[in-house]
A and B are shown apart, each in its own frame.
Chain A
Amino acid sequence: MLHYFIGNLGHLFVITSFVTGLLAAFSYWRASSTNDLEARLAWIVNGRASFIAHAVAVIGVIVCLFIIIYQHYFEYHYAYAHSSLRLPGQYMISCFWEGQEGSFLLWIFWHAVLGLVLMATQKQWEAPVMTIVALVQSFLASMILGVVIPGLSLKIGSSPFILLRDAMNDPIFTLQPDFIPADGNGLNPLLQNYWMVIHPPTLFLGFALTLVPFAFALAGLWKRSYTSWIKPALPWTLLAGAVLGIGILMGGYWAYETLSFGGYWNWDPVENAVYVPWLILIASLHSMLIYKHSKTALKLSLILVLSVFILILYSTFLTRSGILGDASVHSFTDLGLSGQLLIYLLFFTLGAGVLVARRWKEIPTSEKEVSTYSKEFWIFLGAATLCLMGFQVLVPTSIPVYNRLLEIVGVESNLAPPANQIEFYSRIQLWFAVAVALLSGTGQFFWWKKMDRDKLRQELLLPVLATLVVFAILMLATGVKDPAYMALMVSGLYIIISNLRVLHRTWKVNAGLSGGAIAHIGLGLMLLGVLYSAGYSKVVSLNNTGLLYNREMGTEFNRDNLLLFVNETRTMGGYDIEFLGERLEARHKSGYIKRNDVDRTDDPFQVVAKRDILFDGKKLYNAKDTFEILPENTFYEIQLRKGNTVSASLYPRIQLNPGMGGFMASPDIRRRLDRDLYTHVSAPMNRDSEPEWSEMEEVRVKLGEKFFVNDYVSVLEQVERVYQLPGMLLTDEDVAVRATIKIEGEHDTYYVEPLFLIRNQNEVGRIPSETGDLGIKIALLNIHPNSNEFSLGLQTRQKDWVIIKAMEKPFINILWLGTGLLMIGFSVAMVRRFREKGDISSTQ
């Protein structure tokens, strides 16, 4: 039974949201264009009703899509492609935005919420601002419209409610049009992470918030109220800066915890695409502050505010149109929306551009000469540096776009992004960061006091001295030698110390004014955190066996990976390190389970305990219990010891999801106050291919006799006749004998139980048994009743192994602390600006 109703309803809601979006835009446009008060009120009522209907429709779309996912209606492509029966509940939310359509929906949702808030709070600005919001909404709704224009065979948007049979050309649908797959493809294992539940909504809220200042600025231009838009737009800009900033950092933190590229920031085009708008957003924020205090920099504020939203559109285009192609490791697949995305981008870019050009002469400017001792001068320099900082990232990130443009005019271009992105960007961004820190450290003094040469000298003396003293101490203590890092360190300390002084002063006057100082201290801490954790990140898993692994390549090759055989101790970074074996994860209990302690069943999700299962001294399951595991995840227990004390047990993870072609290594991080030890698997043993076993060696032993296999002491403990075997029917004449052999491993005792069978009088069968990690397989070859001896066939293979890479990240916690302070600073400032807004209702 196909559930047509829910999909049709959802699609109806999508179309409704598009139409009501257009209606709202039209009504609000009429409302802002007419001077007739009565007509205007009527149009505003129309606009409100349409936008509320729009918001309801958006909620309707979300509810329908969520029902489809939650009820596992795999006849729908979205549920099939992004979910599965076994997907834990909380990740059903993440599969909502794994697809492009769902993430557009998320963006639309936030716009709808913000639209309602603006509608309720902005009396004067409602009509023009909402015109723009509703117009943007219509564009976004068109992305998920999924309507084919008849006659033109032009498809607009990609609907999330498309049926699987329409999305895929599988022959099964011609045979069986009502075919519903029993299970879905599942969620990409990378996204099965709690950060992926909260990072996308935060990031998209940040995206959505940039629309508000954009709409105010555009409305101001349009209605010729060139100056009054800044006041209502300012607190929204602060909120956008905070939310977008935290969204970006959550992404970085997710990458740090989940991906194994060894850091939190990779200068990937997808990361750059949100970093640049954020920098410009911060620049626009500062420019608006200049305007508020000295009525200068109005044009600059206007252009920056408009650019932020356009850059957001540009980054949407980059990541979703497929244009990045080879340049990025992760971006959405092309849904055939490139054209639509381009129209969206160009419409608002050209629209804003034309409006600015036509009104440019009318925009008031200040002819005042900027004094070097004014705060405007310093903040302006800071804003300019931020813009250049963004520009330096934007230019190379857009290389694939230049290639495409050149291709269109018929020139073949073979320009590629810089070969070493991290080095390329970090080298230059570092100096920009130094400049920003020095400027904002100094600028803060001007912000709060009138300055002249003597006063400045007086103010600066103490912070500069303190900075130099702290720098000298830190430099000697932590051995910072690189000149670029030294510069970053001095400037980072300077911004912290000078802002501490400002904080001290403002706190006494009014704690509510201290947002700026707190945010800047956070920035300084972040710079120091990045300096240490990235600049002094050190690979500790060096090959230290003294062996030249690969003669062909010589010694020039770095050996950053360490090969660990199970139960063999190596040394790494001052620790003894040992791989203890593979571990599984139970679905309903926390703790790691040894792979050797369970038997697999036909259902990959179910295992049976071979013995009592203990973890950390706690019993998780009894022998013979059947329980559920998460078969996608394998953990590799790696123990770090100093002498005889265990310093840490690390469990880096490998996730496999063959349905997605996904294979992913996630690190385990040992966190200490002053440093993280970051360890991930770089290559696991391949379990798909049959391992190479040695030639069989035969031994004759008596019960209780010891023998050696692969250097392990083993004992034949017991031989008994069995009458029942799983999966085999034994008649009365058949004989089945089971031997139990105990093998003493380094840390554990292993049992193998080979079988010897005589069936139908003379057919002899032997079923060998093996231990997982030790690489031992034993067969019961023969029974010698005369001498009470048994013949055992011993085979060995290479022991289990894993290759790991481990890095040390010093002082990374300073980065997270700085991030927290930055966000607190933003919040304090925001509260102040939202309150201030209440004073005077903005007028035209």
Chain B
Amino acid sequence: MKKSHILALLVIGSAIAIIISTAGDASTYVSFDQAFQMASSGDNNSIHVVGELKKGPNGEVVGIVKSPDNLSFSFILRDDANKEQTVYYNEPIPPDFTRSEKVVVIGGYHGERFVASKILLKCPSKYQEQKLNARV
């Protein structure tokens, strides 16, 4: 076997190892129920849950509770299966939080609590204005 063949094999081997490790580290999009089952069966990997903020009858966001020092907060997220879950987040409220159409929370259950380590907001696009501001 030539040295260059050994090298080629090594490269291919590493590439396969990369794919396998990616598959192992990739997270998943799940519902709150699935996330809870995963956590109770001892799977502590962080997962993604996509949902919307709970809205009141007039379309206003309800269920946001700030800690007294404003440094953390919790909110109610309704996932695609319509399950509502209180999510705790250890950062101050992102300023355009209530404007977001969709929220992706990354984290997992700690007991009965869902604790997010990161949240991604899908806001009505920052680059595409929704309404004309008809100031003349």
Contacts and interface: CB of A to CB of B under 8 A. Distances in A.
Contacts of B28: 414-416
Interface in A76-103: 81, 98-99
B134 A172 contact: yes
A395 B126 contact: no
Interface stretch (A504-512, A552-560, A615-623, A723-731): A552-560
Size category of the B interface is 35 or more
Contact of B18 (A392, A418, A550): A392
Given A396-B26, A399-B26, A561-B71, A81 B129 contact: yes
Nearest to A682: B92
A181 B90 contact: no
Nearest to B97: A663
A336 interface: no
A364 to B, nearest CB: 16
B11 A388 contact: yes
Interface string B1-44: 01110010011001100110110011111100000000000000
Contact of A663 (B14, B45, B95): B95
A797 to B, nearest CB: 15
A372 interface: yes
A418 B27 contact: yes
Contacts of B15: 388, 391
A419 B123 contact: no
A50 interface: no
A391 B132 CA distance: 44
A661 B123 contact: yes
B128 A81 contact: yes
A391 B117 CA distance: 27
A561 B92 contact: yes
Interface stretch (A201-209, A326-334, A340-348): A326-334
Contacts of A416: 26-29, 47-48
A168 interface: yes
A185 B22 CA distance: 42
A549 B106 contact: no
A414 B22 contact: no
Given A98-B127, A370-B3, A391-B18, A419 B106 contact: yes
A182 B126 contact: no
Nearest to B104: A326
Nearest to A392: B18
Contacts of A399: 26
Contact of A549 (B69, B122, B132): B69
Contacts of B10: 384
Interface residues of A, number: 59
Contacts of B21: 428
Contact of B72 (A182, A185, A372, A557): A557
A229 to B, nearest CB: 23
B61 interface: no
B133 A661 contact: no
Interface in B29-77: 29-30, 45-48, 50, 67-72
Contact of B14 (A168, A388, A419): A388
A803 B94 CA distance: 12
Contacts of A369: 2-4
B127 to A, nearest CB: 5
B65 to A, nearest CB: 9
A683 interface: yes
Interface in A401-427: 414-420, 424
B120 interface: yes
A472 interface: no
A424 B24 CA distance: 11
A185 to B, nearest CB: 5
B67 A550 contact: yes
A379 to B, nearest CB: 12
Interface in A544-573: 549-550, 553, 557-559, 561, 563
B19 A188 contact: no
Nearest to A377: B3
Contacts of A329: 120
A380 to B, nearest CB: 7
Contacts of A424: 25
Interface string A138-178: 00000000000000000000000000100010101000000
Contacts of A828: none
A644 to B, nearest CB: 29
Given A333-B127, A369-B2, A391-B18, A803 B120 contact: no
Nearest to B123: A661
A439 to B, nearest CB: 12
Contacts of B45: 419
Contacts of A81: 127-129
Given A388-B11, A416-B27, A563-B69, A168 B92 contact: no
Contacts of A179: 134, 136
Given A172-B132, A332-B127, A384-B7, A803 B47 contact: no
Contacts of B124: 661
B114 interface: no
Given A395-B18, A420-B117, A559-B71, 10 more contacts: A98-B127, A185-B133, A188-B126, A326-B48, A326-B102, A387-B11, A418-B25, A549-B72, A557-B72, A558-B90
13 contacts: A170-B132, A181-B132, A182-B136, A326-B120, A392-B22, A396-B26, A419-B46, A419-B106, A420-B118, A553-B67, A553-B72, A559-B71, A684-B95
Give me the 5 closest cross-chain CB pairs, A-B, nearest first.
A683-B92, A419-B46, A663-B95, A416-B27, A550-B67
